[in-house]
Amino acid sequence: MYDANYSEVSQFVFLGLSTSRQVQHFLLPFSTVFYVTIILGNLFVVFTVLFDPHLHSPMYFLLANLSFIDSCLSTLTVPKMISDLYSGHKTISFQGCVIQIFILHVLGGSEMVLLITMALDRYVAICKPLHYLTVMSPRMCILLLSAAWAIGLIHSAAQLASVVHLPFCGPNEIDNFYCDLPQFIKLACTDTYRMEFMITANSGFISTGTFFLLIISYIFILVSVWKHYSGGLSKALSTLSAHITVVVLFFGPCIFVYLWPFPTVSVDKFLAILDFMITPILNPAIYTLRNKDMKIAMRKLSSQLLSLRKMP
Ligand SMILES: *[C@@H]1O[C@H](CO)[C@@H](O)[C@H](O)[C@H]1NC(C)=O
């Protein structure tokens, strides 16, 4: 067992995106606008799907769930980053850091499984349209969603269980704006080689594996559309290109953060911006604003909201 004197670090200091006050003041308005847009856009998607009976189908329920997870992911990291940019005071307690890592991996793991579910949904809808309603039944959707959350929880608990007892005796600076495992374990006062390997194997393998699984399934869907109904290819391409864009943008940073072997290059925090600020905006933008049913529903919802306001 480790010496009790070791665990002296009670808080961590984020170095953030930049240590220059000027750059921080420059980034502050941008991140605030992005965050507000993410929350409004994604909540609007969730409410539109929940309140419009025309959108009560698996695809839209999955989209709403994706929007929900995305707003949680942003909320986990961005408000703290904004307040740090504002105040210049960038500490986080040890417990806060551990909780952030835990929730991050629960949400990230669930989002990955949800993206697989969405690909499955598109596969059945496009390649087996006659069986769509029986395969993607409400029960099946709930089952897949519960599986997503369960896998996220197990993945996160398993990783955290192995690092939470590490001794920390300083330094306590994290060159990032949020806590995640690669930087966290590097601060432990022990040889973390095996831990690093475990994290690469767990998070790295899951993100890379899921990424290739998704890309292969989308290629498979496109090829079968192309073979069976050559006329439908452009329509399928336009739907699926949105999914593929989100997949690449979401997984690119994950794979880099967990698999890149040279930790001295701190581009990972800029890549993390993609996951916490860019894909969460893209989801409502490209999945929904390009979708006719969704646009009609949003127009209806907003006119209802407006007429509510006008009532005495
Ligand atoms: C997620 O999907 C389930 C079932 O498909 C649905 O009942 C639920 O309302 C969705 N959650 C959100 C936040 O949209």
The secondary structure of 120-139 as a DSSP string is HHHHHHHH-GGGHHHHT-HH
Predicted local distance difference test score (pLDDT) of residue 262 = 59
**151 C-beta neighbours (distance < 10 Å), count:** 18
pLDDT at residue 3, rounded to an integer: 46
How far apart CA 264 and CA 266 sit, in angstroms, is 6
Tens of pLDDT, residues 42-97: 998 899 899 888 888 898 899 999 999 999 999 999 999 999 999 888 899 999 99
Backbone CA torsion sign across 171, 5, 157, 202: positive
Please tell me the total number of residues recorded for the chain in this structure: 312
Q: Ligand 1 pocket test: which of 42, 43, 65 has the largest number of ligand atoms within 8 Å of its C-beta?
A: 65
Ligand 1 — pocket residues by CB below 6 A?
46, 49-50, 61, 64-65, 68, 141-142, 145
pLDDT of the residue at 164: 81
Which residue has the CA at smallest separation from atom 11 of ligand 1? 65
Instruction: Calculate how far, in angstroms, residue 50's C-alpha sits from the geometric centre of ligand 1.
Output: 8
Q: Is the C-alpha dihedral spanning 250, 255, 258, 262 positive or negative? A: negative
Fill in the DSSP letter of residue 239.
H
Which residues, including other chains, have CB under 8 Å from residue 263's CB and lie 6 or more apart?
A: 182, 186
- DSSP label at residue 55: G
Query: How far is Cα 124 from Cα 133, in angstroms, rounded to an integer?
Result: 9
Residue 64 CA: which ligand 1 atom is closest?
14
CA of 162 to the centre of ligand 1 (A): 32
Where would I find the beta strands (DSSP E) of 69-124? 91-93
Q: Report the DSSP beta bridge partners of residue 92.
A: 12
Take atom 7 of ligand 1 and give the residue whose Cα is closest. 61
Which of 145, 146, 149 is the best mutation target for the ligand 1 pocket, counting ligand atoms within 8 Å of the beta carbon and taking the most?
145
Protein residue with least CA distance to atom 6, ligand 1:
61
- CB 104, CB 61: distance < 8 Å: no
C-alpha 121/C-alpha 136 separation (Å) is: 7
Give the integer Cα–Cα distance in Å for 295 and 82: 31
Model pLDDT, residue 116: 93
Within the chain, which residues score under 50 in pLDDT?
1-4
Among left, alpha and beta (phi > 0; psi -120 to 50; other), residue 168 is beta
Q: What is the pLDDT of residues 101-136, one digit of tens each?
A: 999 999 999 999 999 999 999 889 888 889 998 999
Q: Which residue has the tokens 């890549």?
A: 271
Pairwise CA distance, residues 285 & 45, whole Å:
10
- Alpha helices (H) in the chain, listed in sequence order: 21-51, 58-87, 94-127, 132-135, 138-163, 181-186, 193-199, 205-228, 233-259, 268-273, 279-282, 292-310
